[in-house]
Structure formats: structure tokens, C-alpha cells
Amino acid sequence: MSTDGITLHRGLSGVYFDRTETTFIDGKEGKLLYRGYNIHDLAGVSTFEETSCLLMHGELPTQAQLDDFDATLKANREIPSEVVNIIRAVQNDHPMSVLRTAVSALSAFDPEAADNSSEATLRKGIRLTAQVPTIVMAHHNIRNDRAPVPPSKTLSHAANFLYMMEGEEPTVETAALMDTDFVLHADHGSNASAFTARAVASTNAHLHDAVTAGIGALSGPSHGGAAENVMTMALEIGEEENAGQYVKDLLAGGGRVMGFGHRVYRAEDPRARHLREGVRKLSEEKGEPKWFGILEAVQKAMTPYGRRGIHVNVDFFAGVIYYLNGIPHDLFVPIFAVGRIPGWTVQVIEQFEHNILLRPLLQYAGPEERDYVPMSDR
């Protein structure tokens, strides 16, 4: 069978399959824009609510528009009791599996679930943005034999997420750092989970279907698991003075240093710098400065590899932030999902507005055509 003229693009690397107006990434220069705004101008200045509004509506909101958006989020934080019961039924599963199942179940209680208009999809996306943190923390409490903490009616998105963990309001500084983390994770082009969501949307399935599939893709360790792996590495290193030898031994054995390198960026991930200082301050605030010291020592040991395009990425600092806030390791990836709902939503809307069924080809590499052999002759 002829393969003339066929060029394989394994992993679809470098393949443009559509246009987007939401996120621009320049991997060579290390640049990330949301709707034309540089991430350096948004992180630490904008809030997750404002950034979500920007991504979903296309422009920075006025104060009145932002207040309305924020009020809508707060009004939709609660989840149906039936979904809470489903969470109880599957509480022993991994948090990402529980989240996937609960988001799928939410579609049964959304009156607009089957409406794929841009307007309805946007409204559903806002509701999901509000509800996903509640799912994550409801499961966290249920599996620890505690009643779920009802979501706050007044706290910000980030502060409410941390509040629902145990019912204690976070400090302003801690909430601000989590808010920045959510801003940095709000969207990031056509990565595996966003592409999965778009592929599902291209069949004209609805938003809950697409987000459920996106969560499934994000649960894979090659996509969403890096922050958890960085913290595991830091715990294994234990002390700052061990970092250099740890990195040397790991690389000599063919291992990979977690939190370095990116499929797109060949310069430093522009999101990383906005968590670095936060980790330093949080480490000192919690009385555990060694974690920042370990990360700094690992980054120093990896400096020579920058010439090969291997730089620190956003996950390198994120895991320590979660750890210092007392968040269990298996919730690190769900936090990624909490921040990513706006991005998935707007990409699904884009897919609907310019839709064509995604149907790439596979080059056949099996046997040539052959005759069927009856059972009696085998």
C-alpha cells in the first residue's frame, strides 16, 4: 500500500488546525497573551474573576460588568444534593475521576445543557466555573468523613476555594497567591485537554460533554501531573544542600527533572516568574523556608540545560504553593481544572462558531490485503 506523499506529524506538533482569538503563545520568545493582554500585565494585577470575564467576553470588563460577573459566579457556587450523593458514592476514587463524574452528572440538572448556542454555552461555562471548586472540596471533605463546607456568598473565587477545604478563611496574601495561580492556568492554547474538548465539541456534543472529556485528558500524568511530581521530588531531596547531587544522579540515570521543559516553550515559561516570589513569601509565612531553598537549588543545578531550551515551567512552583496550604497531593491536578474552566469554555464556543468535525487520518502500517481463512483451515 503506497505511502507516497504522506508526512506524519506525530503528536500533531507544529500543526495548525484552526484559528483562535483567545490565547497567543510564542514559545521561542516565552510570550503568553490572553485576548491580546500580556500575562505579565495580568498576573498579580488582574483577578481570576476579571481574567475569566476577559477570556469569555473578549474585552476587559467595566466595574459594573465585573461586579455582575462576580455576582453570577457567587450565585452559582452550590451544587445539587443529588450530585453530592454521587460524590459520596464514588468518594474512594481519585479526585480527578470524581470531578469528571460529577461534572458529567451536573448536565442532568442544567436546564440549558443541550443548548449549544454561544450565549447558552457561555452561561453554562460561568456556572461550571463556579461549581467545579465546590465539587473538588466537597469530595475532599466527604472522603475525610466530614460534611462539605458550603461555599461562601462573599469571598473571592480563590479565597472561597481555600475556605471550603476546612471552613477557615485564608489570609489575604494566601488567597492572592492562589488567585494568581488560577489566572496563570486560565487558558493555554490547544494543549491535550483543550484539543480534547474541541474534538468533542466538533461533534456538536454540549459543553458538559466537552469539559468532562477535557478533565479526562487533564488527568493523565503527561499533561496535568507535573505540579504533584515536583512536590514529590522536593520531598525526596529533603534539604537544599542535597539538590545538586539529586539532579546530577537523576539525569545520569536517564531520569527527568520535574518542572522543567515544555512542549511549546523553548524559553522560560512566562507564567513561572509570577509564582516564584509568592513561594518565597509563603514559605517564610508558614515557617518552612527550606522548600523555596530547595527549588532555588534545583533551578541553579538545571541552569546549564537552558542552552537546550529546557527552562523552568509554571508547575515548578505551583506544587509547593499547594503543599504549603495543606492541600493533599492528589488535589493538585483538580486545582489545574478549577482554573482552566474559562479557557475550555471559550474554546468550545469558538469550535461551535466555526465548526467542522475534527477527523484527522492515520497512516495504515498493517498487513497488505489478504484472503479470509475459514476456521477449519487455521
Domains of the chain by start residue, with CATH: 23-220+336-353 (1.10.580.10), 226-324 (1.10.230.10)
DSSP H or E segment with residue 321: helix 315-324
Q: pLDDT value at position 253?
A: 92
Gyration radius from the chain CA atoms: 22
pLDDT per residue, tens digit, the chain (378 aa), is: 566 778 888 888 888 999 999 999 998 888 999 999 999 999 989 999 999 999 999 999 999 999 999 999 999 999 999 999 999 999 999 999 999 999 999 999 999 999 999 999 999 999 999 999 999 999 999 999 999 999 999 999 999 999 999 999 999 999 999 999 999 999 999 999 999 999 999 999 999 999 999 999 999 887 877 788 889 999 999 999 999 999 999 999 998 888 887 777 677 788 988 988 889 999 998 999 999 999 999 999 998 888 888 888 888 889 899 999 999 999 999 999 999 999 999 999 999 999 999 999 999 999 999 999 999 999
pLDDT in the model for residue 3:
66
**Phi-psi label, residue 372: left if phi above 0, alpha if psi -120 to 50, beta otherwise:** beta
208 is catalytic: no
Give how far Cα 94 sits from Cα of 98, 99, 140, 231, Å.
Answer: 6, 9, 10, 18
List the grid coordinates of 189: 492554547
Residues 278 and 177: beta-carbon distance below 8 Å? yes
Instruction: Give the model's pLDDT for residue 2.
Output: 61
Which grid coordinates are listed for 98? 470524581
Query: Which residue of the set 94, 223, 329, 330 is catalytic?
Result: 223
Residue 145 backbone zone (phi > 0: left; psi -120 to 50: alpha; other: beta): left
Indicate if the alpha-carbon torsion angle 59, 63, 65, 67 is positive or negative: positive
The whole-number pLDDT of residue 375 equals 97
Contact assessment for residue 107 and residue 209, using Cβ atoms and an 8 Å cutoff: yes
What is the C-alpha separation between 42 and 31, in angstroms, rounded? 13
309: left (phi over 0), alpha (psi -120 to 50) or beta: left
Torsion of CA 262, 225, 129, 53, to 10 degrees: -20
pLDDT at 277: 87
**Cell digits of residue 316:** 515548578
Which of the residues 139, 262, 274, 311 is marked catalytic? Answer: 262
pLDDT of residue 346: 98
Separation between Cα atoms, residue 132 and residue 154, nearest integer Å: 17
**pLDDT on residue 1:** 58
DSSP helix/strand/coil, 260: strand
Question: What are the two backbone dihedrals, phi and then psi, of residue 122, each rounded to the nearest 5 degrees?
Answer: -65, -45
- Give the sign of the dihedral formed by CA 347, CA 353, CA 354, CA 359: positive
Nearest of 12, 93, 92, 107 to residue 361 by alpha carbon:
12
* Contact between residue 237 and residue 294 where contact means Cβ atoms under 8 Å apart: yes
**What pairing do the DSSP bridges indicate for beta strands 31-34 and 23-26?**
antiparallel
At residue 224, the 3 state secondary structure works out as coil
> Of 213, 216, 56, which Cα lies nearest the Cα of 124?
56
Q: What is the pTM of this model?
A: 0.93
Pairing of strands 37-38, 31-34: antiparallel
What is the chain's length?
Answer: 378
Pairing of strands 37-38, 23-26: unpaired
Q: Is 269 a catalytic residue?
A: no
* CA separation for the pair 374, 355 (Å, rounded): 45
157 catalytic? Reply is no
Which stretches of 185-238 are DSSP H helices? Answer: 192-201, 207-218, 226-237
Phi, psi at residue 31, to the nearest 5°? -120, 140
Write down the catalytic residue from 179, 209, 269, 315: 315
pLDDT at 225: 76
